[in-house]
Amino acid sequence: MEQMKPVMKLACHILPIVPVVIATVVVLGCSSGPTAVKVPPIEPEAVTDAVISQYDKNGDGQLALEELADCPALLDAMKNNIDKDNDKRLSKEELTERFSMWVKGGVGASFLACRVTKGGRPVEGAHVRLIPESFFGDVIQPAEGTTDKRGSALLAMDSANLPADLQNLRAVQQGLYRVEITHPSVDIPAKFNTQTTLGVEVSFESGRNLVEFKL
């Protein structure tokens, strides 16, 4: 799968939606152009405190791998260079730096695709939901999509959370999400939905253009 470099549209243009790829989009708007997609109002220090409060079981002020097991999205973030000193744990400084990066990046929403397979074969008709971690409150919006015959889906938050002139934009916000995958006729174990062990970090700086879920 060919990756696309992050793209910034500065004037009055929006990048066309392309299946199974992600491109970072910042819509700045102009007098005759679209309304800006606002960056979620994350408060990095407050979110970090909430993360530590929720997952720091031994009270040492940082998150070890065994504690991160309760937050699959943070485990996913460990693959994306959030652990700057490579000590296999996350400090308050590392968490705050990550959340601050999202805010300073100025990206309101971006395209994100996923692919679902089972036994190596694509699963058509799987419903994929990205559920923001609770420590964000209601700042980050959930997203969802249903896979096509290739097992692929372009995920999107509810268009009601987008400006009126961007209602057709299929995009997600940066954040940490639990993932739930269901299907109307295919048996999918609870560890992929009601008792999910799946999580994903959506971080536009990572350059990841496709998230794979193997059932």
Give me the pLDDT at residue 161, please.
73
Q: In this predicted model, what pLDDT tens digit does every residue of 147-198 receive, in sequence order?
A: 999 999 999 988 877 767 777 778 889 999 999 999 999 999 999 999 999 9
- Within 8 A by CB and 6+ apart from 180, the residues are 128, 129, 131, 192, 193, 194, 196, 198
Where is average pLDDT lowest: 62-71, 75-84, 126-135, 141-150? 75-84
Strands 210-214 and 112-118: parallel
Kind plus residue range of the DSSP H or E element containing 74: helix 72-77
Backbone angles phi, psi at 182, to 5 degrees: -130, 170
Longest dimension (CA), the chain: 55
Its pTM stands at 0.81
Residue 120 has a pLDDT of 93
Burial 131-166, CB ≥16 within 10 A → b, else e: bbbebbeeebbbbbbebbeebbbbbbbeeebbbeeb
pLDDT at 169: 75
User: Three-state SS for 33?
Assistant: coil
The residue written with tokens 């699963």 in the block is 123
Tens-place pLDDT, residues 8-66: 332 223 333 334 333 444 443 333 444 567 888 899 999 999 999 999 999 999 999 99
In this predicted model, what pLDDT tens digit does every residue of 99-125 receive, in sequence order? 999 888 887 778 899 999 999 999 999
Query: Under 8 Å CB-to-CB from 142, ≥6 apart: which residues?
Result: 129, 130, 131, 132, 157, 158, 177
Where are the extended beta strands (E) located within the chain? 24-25, 63-64, 89-90, 109-110, 112-118, 121-122, 127-132, 143-146, 152-157, 175-182, 199-202, 210-214
